[in-house]
Amino acid sequence: MTKPVVLIAEELSPATLEALGPDFDIRHADGANRAELLPALAEANAVLIRSATAMDAEALAAAPHLKVIARAGVGLDNVDIKAATEAGVMVVNAPTSNIVSAAELAIAHILSLARHIPRAHASLASGEWKRSAFTGVELFEKTVGIIGLGRIGALVAERLAGFGVRLLGFDPYVQPARASQMGIELTTLEDLMKQSDFISIHIPKTPETAGMIGLEELKSAKASLRIVNASRGGIIDEDALHTALSEGWIAGAGLDVFVSEPPKDSPLLGLPNIVVTPHLGASTEEAQEKAGISVARSVKLALEGELVPDAVNVAGGIIDPSVRPGIPLMEKLGQVFAGLCDSSITSVHVEIRGEIVEHDVSALKLAALKGIFSRIVSEQVSYVNAPLLAEARGVAVSMSTDPQSDEYRNLLSIKGVLADGRTVSASATLTGAKQAEKLVEVNGYDVEVPLAQHHIVMMYEDRPGIVAIYGRAFGDADINIAGMQIARDTKGGKALSVLTVDSRVPDELLRDVAGEIKATTMAHIDIIDL
């Protein structure tokens, strides 16, 4: 019997090959060399890569027998997941392989800042002996703020507890009981910035979190603050950070990630009160070995037709063709739902109506959870780990189906309850021959607007002149309104506006508009490709 062909396109740990075992025809190619990679893919059933191999549409077209792409690491920027899904190729990665390494690097940055270790080493190595120049601070009894309480943030908190620190946390999606179990006091971002002596960031990079730590936040901080970002580049506004460090607003910063990598000509690199590393979060022997072993096991499962815990997408062959268009729609709807939630979620209910329920639609629930948690956690969210992420956060998840759909051929809905008892909902459908994606309900109000990249949802008292106010404000800021729908319960009652705009609206402008129209809800929701 012919053995399945597994192509190793980059150098992996010896443990990876050991984990694959003897049941495969192992071949090697230089994945960075397209002339070598493409012919090697012709007979491959699986390909194992790291970051240098681009598995794009061209590569997939050259691999007619390919069943699984395995990335020995976390990031998947070099894999065209959409093209892989359309081709029925499973994509797997190793989402938890580096979490300990990443957490320990954050701790290393904190300690390096506290005791000036890099500068002290450089000074002594150059022949100087300047003990007084490197007087540091203890962590003991200091206040440490952790932004993002996912798996890495929790590991950082666990390790910091041994230093006798007070732990503050900011994560709108974590329930107080969960934070309390970790020994963390939940607070607002504003309060965390004002109180913390050290801050460590562990959140995903999204349009909402980009530049989350800017001039205003850094101005409010203690002069003793030392802030560390080993998560994603751009969460701290680098220009604002340079100003804060240069002007002495804060005491120091530690960065492992940057907006542009490598950070060529960045003025941050020349500052004396910053510690920098070249994106080393996963750069340990243990993380690399764990990643290789993890994806090797996933490849074995995939080629044997078994459940793959770290699958990022859903292999095309297991979903009915009539259900497949609902997968990306549900992922986007999950993002809309998450964008409407301004506090922790206690329950999520997925409701599918229409003729589509004749088929297995369980993947739609998974797609909804993937969309929701992709905006909440820093780690890669898959169809398999999304329910586990919900369980870890105490979020009850349910699903119902109904063949009856009065207004639309099929209707996909997500409904949820927040910690304070408020309900949130969003519904969408596919319309016309082109299966156009449309948002048709928000928080109980009927709307019909195309799903786009940028959305604004406003709730306010219905009265004349509101549209003129925000229309003028956006126009003055050169922000074009592409689509708009207004719904209301009664004349003079509550009104809901859903807008699609051609570019992201600055948070400050949204705050100004919200104040002027006395909005009770002002949500800016950006949709990203997952």
> How far apart are the C-alpha atoms of 366 and 350, rounded to whole Å?
10
Helices and strands in the chain, H and E counts? 17, 22
> How far apart are the C-alpha atoms of 496 and 272, rounded to whole Å?
50
C-alpha dihedral, 520 to 521 to 522 to 525, nearest 10°: 180
| Residue 30: Cβ within 10 Å count | 15
- For residue 397 the two structure tokens come to 């998840």
Residue 496 pairs in a beta bridge with 459, 487
Q: Which letter does DSSP use for residue 79 in this model?
A: B
Tell which residue, 69, 107, 116, has the closest CA to residue 89: 69
Tell which residue, 11, 45, 46, has the closest CA to residue 296: 46
- For residue 258 the two structure tokens come to 């940057």
Q: Of 247, 261, 358, 508, which residue is the catalytic one?
A: 261
- For residue 337 the two structure tokens come to 């739902």
Q: Of 242, 279, 359, 488, which residue is the catalytic one?
A: 279
- What is the rounded radius of gyration, in angstroms, for the C-alpha atoms of the chain? 25
What is the full DSSP assignment across 353-366? EEGGGGS--HHHHH
Q: Of 50, 226, 232, 297, which residue is the catalytic one?
A: 232
Q: Is 202 a catalytic site residue?
A: no
* Residue found under tokens 């699958």: 311
Q: Is 109 a catalytic site residue?
A: no
Residue 66 backbone dihedrals phi, psi, to 5 degrees: -70, 130
* Residue found under tokens 């510690």: 275
Q: Checking phi first, is residue 77 left (phi over 0); if not, alpha (psi -120 to 50) or beta?
A: alpha
User: What is the side-by-side strand order in the sheet with 226-229?
Assistant: 185-186, 166-170, 143-147, 198-201, 226-229, 252-255, 274-276
| CA-to-CA dists, residue 76 to 81, 382, 497, 526, angstroms | 8, 12, 36, 20
Residue 371 backbone dihedrals phi, psi, to 5 degrees: -60, -40
Pairing of strands 143-147, 166-170: parallel
Q: Is 463 a catalytic site residue?
A: no
Contacts of 34 (CB under 8 A, 6+ apart): none
Q: Which letter does DSSP use for residue 233 in this model?
A: T
Residue 412 pairs in a beta bridge with 352, 428
| CA-to-CA dists, residue 476 to 44, 473, 482, 507, 522, angstroms | 55, 5, 15, 15, 19
> How far apart are the C-alpha atoms of 147 and 200, rounded to whole Å?
6
Active site residue ranges = 232, 261, 279
